Structure 1
Amino acid sequence: MPTASEPSRDCPLCPRLVAFRETWRAAEPAWSNAPVPSFGPREARLLIVGLAPGLRGANRTGRPFTGDYAGELLYATLIEYGFAIGRFEARPDDTLRLVDARITNAVRCVPPENKPTTQEMRTCRPFLSATLAELPGVAAIVALGKIAHDQVLAAHGERLSHFKFVHGARHRIGGRNERGEVALFDSYHCSRYNTNTGVLTPDMFRAVFAQVRGFLDAEG
């Protein structure tokens, strides 16, 4: 059932993404091939925002960061810092459960070559805004990559020029919930490309979530 925060399975808003989705529905009818919904409890204090579903990852499985390398690093890190429990098996029916954390994407449909257009990001932004609004307890947001960082700022009505994306940075931004301000943490995206090229190491990624864990523990 579509909601303000979740597009319908056949969301028609972005013609290029609709055409790409239909191509893959014909080629791989067993895949999800639909907008990927957010994952995790709505009472979470942490929201993790990625860019968009991966073609053979979340677009295939229907769960954010499930089915590709980015998910292996992300979920292992979440388990390590107490934001997830269970066993991650890269399929939506495994035993993994998020704890005090929710995951979403700035763009809900898989884009060709993993590159949504500026207009597609703008068109999908109301779903991100609604996701932020429906998390009354969110105190921290982790943006995976600069595009996610920019879309979170835009959804909050902030000026992008006031908050530079820097891996490991923490910003205070206006809240879209009952808590008021929230902390925005920046991280390079946990993609295989970034880890293979050394842009992001597992230790660098863990350091971001160690900072988030300390922040939330201090918040109480």
Structure 2
Amino acid sequence: MSLDAHPVTGLLFESPVPPGTGWPGDPATAATPVARTSGQVDALACTSPDIAELDARITVCRACPRLVEWRETVATQGRRASFADQPYWGRPGPGFGDPEAEVLVVGLAPAANGTNRTGRMFTGDRSGDWLYAALHRAGYASQPQSVASGDGLTLRGLRIIAAVRCAPPANKPTTVEKAACSHWLDRDLELAAPRLRSMLALGSIAWDAALGSARRLGWDVPRPKPRFGHAAEAVLTTPEGRVVRLVGSYHVSQQNTFTGKLTEAMLDTAIARLGRD
């Protein structure tokens, strides 16, 4: 049996990483309950008492067979050549950031050689380079680079989550997969709601997922459904009367950043709106 060494800790383990083996930031243990169906995802999400337990349960989810097979195949057999000597996380990506955050960033899904490799949202790929540099400029991130779990990066007042928590083939989760994963998103928003001020949706899928989650939680959402666009805004209201601003941004994918569809100035402007009263 061949074991890999984590580049930060030097700990040895097989990939994908079993829970509780010492990977930096791994919130799960061998005793963390595992969801194997959409119904079980719903049950485990609803009963997660806090962010830490929610993240732990997310990271061991096996409810979507296609996604489980893909993420683990990439982690064990399909590694990009430049990362061939590195261990891969190969599990769903937990949220990352301040558990008491007033701002949420909602992404689409982990990248096969980004989060699926490093175990942290938007870490180890070009999208993350853009996002964390912008969050650092805005004062949310302690450093502009996000290389690997355990590199010292922290977020203040902001937490990053995703509509889908596993890396999907061709970056395209199915409707059924998005529905199964929506329970995790619902609980993330529900736990954040008492202090939540704003959300940044990176791309139209994240925008639709955030609006759908808000409706399921009984929040007041404008009708007709607000349309996604860069710098689009929608005002949502929780049942307790808390106003939450949803801001749209083009995704920080290379398809957008390399072509100039999304510029640093555009991203900075969208992020600046998150802190506006």
TM-score scaled to structure 2, two decimals? 0.72
Q: Which amino acid aligns with 1:142?
A: L
Give 1:89 deviation, angstroms. 4.2
What residue ranges of structure 1 are gaps of 5+ in the alignment?
none
Q: Which amino acid aligns with 2:161?
A: T
Q: Structure 2: how far apart are the matches of 1:115 and 1:160?
A: 27
* Correspondences of 1:37-116 after superposition (within 5 Å): 37-86=94-143, 88-116=145-173
Task: For residues 84-127 of structure 1, give each alpha carbon's deviation from its aligned partner in whole angstroms, at most 9, with x where no partner exists.
Answer: 11352411111211010000111000000111111111110000
The 1:160/1:33 distance shift into structure 2, 3 A limit, reads farther
In structure 2, what is the equivalent of residue 23 of structure 1?
73
Asked if residue 197 in structure 1 is aligned to residue 250 in structure 2, the reply is no
Moved more, 9-18 or 96-105: 9-18
Q: Structure 2: how far apart are the matches of 1:87 and 1:105?
A: 20
Moved more, 44-53 or 202-211: 202-211
Asked if residue 211 in structure 1 is aligned to residue 248 in structure 2, the reply is no
Rg larger for: 2
The 1:108/1:39 distance shift into structure 2, 3 A limit, reads same
Question: 1:44 touches 1:101 (CA, 8 Å); kept in 2?
Answer: yes
Q: Structure 2: how far apart are the matches of 1:88 and 1:120?
A: 31
Pick from 233, 249, 265 the counterpart of residue 170 of structure 1: 233
The 1:159/1:20 distance shift into structure 2, 3 A limit, reads farther
Q: Structure 2: how far apart are the matches of 1:9 and 1:207?
A: 32
Q: Structure 1: how far apart are the matches of 2:150 and 2:195?
A: 27
In structure 2, what is the equivalent of residue 146 of structure 1?
204
Give 1:21 deviation, angstroms. 2.2
What residue ranges of structure 2 are gaps of 5+ in the alignment?
1-27, 33-43, 46-53, 80-85, 216-220
* Correspondences of 1:107-146 after superposition (within 5 Å): 107-135=164-192, 136-146=194-204
Percent identity reads: 40
Aligned length: 214
Moved more, 16-25 or 134-143: 16-25
Task: For residues 126-183 of structure 1, give each alpha carbon's deviation from its aligned partner in whole angstroms, at most 9, with x where no partner exists.
Answer: 000001111131110000000000000010114784211011011101337x662310
